[in-house]
Amino acid sequence: MTQDTERLRESSLFDRATIADIQRAADQGIYKIRGFGAKRKVPHFDDLVFLGASVSRYPLEGYREACGTDVTLGTRHAEKPLKIDIPITIAGMSFGSLSAQAKEALGRGASEVGTSTTTGDGGMTKEERGHSTKLVYQYLPSRYGMNPDDLRQADAIEVVIGQGAKPGGGGMLLGQKISDRVADMRTLPKDIDQRSACRHPDWTGPDDLEIKIRELREITDWQVPIYVKVGATRTYYDTMLAVKSGADVVVVDGMQGGTGATQECFIEHVGIPTLPAVRLAAEALQELGLHRTGVQLIVSGGIRSGADVAKAIALGADAVSIGTAALIALGDNRPDLAAEYEKLGSAPGFYEDWQAGQDPAGITTQDPELAKRLDPEKAGHRLANYLRVLTLEAQTLARACGKSHVHNLEPEDLQALTIEAAAMAKVPLAGTGWIPGQNF
C-alpha cells in the first residue's frame, strides 16, 4: 500500500531513533552498548571563527614565513620532557579494543610525523612499543597488564582518572574480543565480558594521587613526564587538583571523546563538551601561573580538522589528542566496505559497533582473519598523511592570524557564531563585544 508521506508527521520527542531505542530495549532487556562517541549535536569548535588579519593585524606569508608547531610536554618535573613535532597526539586506545595491527599502525603513523601515541587498558604490546618512537603508557584503574618494566620503557606516563565518553565509568571489553592473547595480558579468563574498574584500587582523592605520582616518579627515577587524564566534568577544579597532585601535563577529554565500548546513555549524557572544557582548564592553569609555562594542557574530544586543532590551541590547549579521527584515518568506516557493513546492519559513515569485534576494516577486532586485513604500514602512512593535513591547516589559520607559532594563537583571535558557544568558549558573539556571563 502506498503511504501518503505528506500526511506523516514525525514526533520531535519520539522520533524514529527514539522509537527504535525503546523497541530494542524491550526486545533485549539490556542497555545499549556501542563504540564511537557522542552523536548528539553540542556546541563545538564549528561554532567559532577566526578573525584573521585586518588593518590592525598583519598575516604571515603562507608558504614563506615559518609557523612553529613543536610542543614540549612535561617541563615541570621530568628529567626528559617529551618533545613532539606537531601539536597533535594519538589518544589512548587499548590492545583488546583494537587489533595488534591497528596499534602498530597508530605507532607507525605517529612516529612518521614525530608525535606520540598512547597505550590503553590492557598494557603495552611489543608491536606498539616497537613502532612508536614516542609512547605514552597509561596507568589505569584496572591495571591490566601493568608492568614496571613497561613503565620504565615509556616516554611518558598517563594516570587515567576518566575519559570523556564515560567520566565516572570503567572500561568494557565484551567476551567476543577477549582472545587468548588479550586474556593472557589482562590475567582474565577467555570469553568473559570484562568490566574494568572505574576507581583506582589503591588511592582516592587528590592527596592520595599526589603520593601515587610520587611513587611512579620514584620507580621511573623522575625521568619521564607524568600526565593526569580526566573526563571533562568539573574541569576547573580537576585541573587545579591534578596540578596540586604534581601532574606535569593535564589531559582533558570532552564528552565527544570516543570509546571502544560503553553504555550509550553514558556516551550521550555524562560530561561536558570539549568547548567549555578547554577554556576551564586553561583558566585554572592561568590562575596558577602555569599556563604555557609550567604545566601543559592536552585537549581531546571531537577533534577532526586543523581548524579544530587551531581553535583548541587558541582557547588554551598546548596540544590536542585524537582517537576516533585516527581510526577513521586508518580505514574505519571505509566506503569500499559497504557490502560488509550492510551484512552487519550498518553502513559506511554509521558503523559504531566497535564493541562487537566484527569490524570489517580489521581495526576494532581480535578476529585474526579480520585483523590481518589491516596493513599496519599502509594504514600508518594514511594516519601520517592525515596528521600532516591537520598540522598544515592549523598552521594556515595561525599564519592568517599573524602567528609565528601555533601557540601564539589566543582567544582574542576568535569569535562565536552562537550565544551558547560564546558563553562556553568565553569569546564574543560575532560582531558584538558580548560574552554571555561576562561584561554585563
d(CA 22, CA 346): 19
| Binding residue for another protein, selected from 32, 77, 214, 381, defined by CB under 8 A | 214
| Binding residue for another protein, selected from 15, 65, 184, 191, defined by CB under 8 A | 191
Contact predicate 377/108, CB 8 Å: yes
Taking CB under 8 A as the rule, does residue 219 contact another protein?
A: yes
| Binding residue for another protein, selected from 52, 62, 130, 148, defined by CB under 8 A | 148
d(CA 381, CA 242): 35
1 vs 26, beta carbon nearer another protein: 26
150 vs 377, beta carbon nearer another protein: 150
337 φ, ψ (degrees, to nearest 5):
-100, 15
| Binding residue for another protein, selected from 85, 112, 193, 377, defined by CB under 8 A | 193
Taking CB under 8 A as the rule, does residue 150 contact another protein?
A: no
Taking CB under 8 A as the rule, does residue 168 contact another protein?
A: no
8 vs 26, beta carbon nearer another protein: 26
The total number of residues shown for the chain amounts to: 440
State the nearest-atom distance from the C-beta of 187 to another protein, in Å. Answer: 4
194 vs 274, beta carbon nearer another protein: 194
| Binding residue for another protein, selected from 188, 288, 338, 419, defined by CB under 8 A | 188
From residue 50, how far is each of 39, 111, 279, 410, 434 by CA, in Å?
Answer: 25, 30, 16, 10, 16
Helix (H, G, I), strand (E, B) or coil at 329: helix
Taking CB under 8 A as the rule, does residue 189 contact another protein?
A: yes
214 vs 388, beta carbon nearer another protein: 214
Question: Which residue type occupies 331?
Answer: G
| Binding residue for another protein, selected from 201, 205, 289, 433, defined by CB under 8 A | 201
Residues with Cβ < 8 Å from 14, sequence gap 6 or more? none
Write the binding mask 328 to 367 for another protein: x where contact by CB under 8 A, - elsewhere.
----------------------------------------
Neighbours of 271 (CB within 10 A): 28
| Binding residue for another protein, selected from 51, 53, 146, 392, defined by CB under 8 A | 146
Helix (H) or strand (E) holding 343: helix 338-343
Helix (H, G, I), strand (E, B) or coil at 426: coil
* Structure letter (DSSP) for residue 412: G
Taking CB under 8 A as the rule, does residue 198 contact another protein?
A: no
d(CA 214, CA 54): 49
223 vs 418, beta carbon nearer another protein: 223
Taking CB under 8 A as the rule, does residue 143 contact another protein?
A: yes
Exposure string for 252-267, b = 16+ CB within 10 A, e = fewer:
bbbbbbbbbbbbbebb
172 vs 424, beta carbon nearer another protein: 172
For another protein (CB under 8 A), the number of binding residues is 34
d(CA 289, CA 356): 46
Q: Looking at 184-192, 274-282, 283-291, 418-426, which segment touches another protein (CB under 8 A)?
A: 184-192
Write the binding mask 253 to 272 for another protein: x where contact by CB under 8 A, - elsewhere.
--------------------
Taking CB under 8 A as the rule, does residue 203 contact another protein?
A: yes
Alpha helices in 65-142 (DSSP H): 100-112, 126-130
Here the cell at position 327 is 581510526
Taking CB under 8 A as the rule, does residue 17 contact another protein?
A: no
Taking CB under 8 A as the rule, does residue 289 contact another protein?
A: no
Taking CB under 8 A as the rule, does residue 184 contact another protein?
A: no
From residue 3, how far is each of 6, 8, 27, 324, 376 by CA, in Å?
Answer: 9, 9, 27, 39, 49
Contact predicate 111/128, CB 8 Å: no
Which residues form the interface with another protein (CB under 8 A)? Answer: 28-30, 142-143, 146-149, 151, 174-175, 186-189, 191-193, 195, 197, 201-203, 208, 211-212, 214-215, 218-222
